[in-house]
Amino acid sequence: MEFRPLAHVASSDYSYERMFAFSPNRPTLPEDLIARLRPVALAKSRILPLGEPWGPLVPNAGLRRGSTVVVQAQPGLGGLSLALSLLTESSARGHWAGVVGVDDPGVVAIADLGVDLRRVLFVPRPRGAWAECAADLLIVRPPSRASHGAARRLVDRVRERGTVLIILAEPASLWPLPADLSFDITQAQWSTSSRLDARYLTVRIGGRGEAIRAGEHVVVLPSRRGRCEAN
């Protein structure tokens, strides 16, 4: 299994510990190192904050720990970019994120979005262990259509650990369990001049909470600054 930190992770052993916390053979780390690098505010709040434009569209302007978020899009329509944009505010406040099953997420694009690369761990090819990962926020692209059993195990683990699970799905490989929050990209259009300037995404938001502003919303992702912005 190949593992690569995206940027300046203090310890590769610690990165392995964070991402494969369920492995029975994980390495033993010094307690002072674990305490120093443990994600902040784990018990202080059950909500991980969302920045613009997503905060006003969901309850409490954030993602509830233990919840499952599904981002669904056809290939090439910006599903990964949308999922990464959900990390920006929490990343800026010191929370760790993991990206699992994505070969090349585009480091420059992630930085342009405002995600702190020092707190992103990347497992591009988890093979059979894709469901055995942990972080404050976890983006997972299953290798194929996920079985109900594997999906249930992952959901149970992230609920137990207070992780926010963000699943990247496609219409041909739907996530088999209900989601607490969903972002379905229905259309993508680039604005061009002499180059590709900005991409306008039509996103259908749904979920279980009554305060969710369900329906279709248009966002700019990426904008000319590389960020995710309201239209």
3-state SS, the chain, equals: CEEEECCCCCCHHHHHHHHCCCCCCCCCCCHHHHHHHCCCCCCCCCEEECCCCCHHHCHHHEEECCCEEEEECCCCCCHHHHHHHCCHHHHHCCCCEEEECCCCCCHHHHHHHCCCHHHEEEEEECHHHCCCCCCCEEEECCCCCCCHHHHHHHHHHHHHHCCEEEEEEECCECCCCCCCEEEEEEEEEEEECCCEEEEEEEEEEEECCCCCCCEEEEEECCCCCCCCEEC
**Tens digit of pLDDT for each residue in 173-215?**
899 999 999 999 999 999 877 566 899 999 999 988 666 777 8
Are 102 and 139 contacting, i.e. CB atoms less than 8 angstroms apart?
yes
- pLDDT one-digit tens code per residue, 58-107: 988 999 999 999 999 999 999 999 999 999 999 999 999 999 988 888 88
pTM: 0.77
Give 2-53 pLDDT, tens digit per residue.
Answer: 444 444 333 333 333 343 344 445 555 566 555 555 554 444 478 999 999 9
Of residues 80, 126, 87, the one with CA closest to residue 104: 80
Domains of the chain by start residue, with CATH: 2-173 (3.40.50.300)
Other C-beta atoms closer than 10 Å to the C-beta of 161 total 16
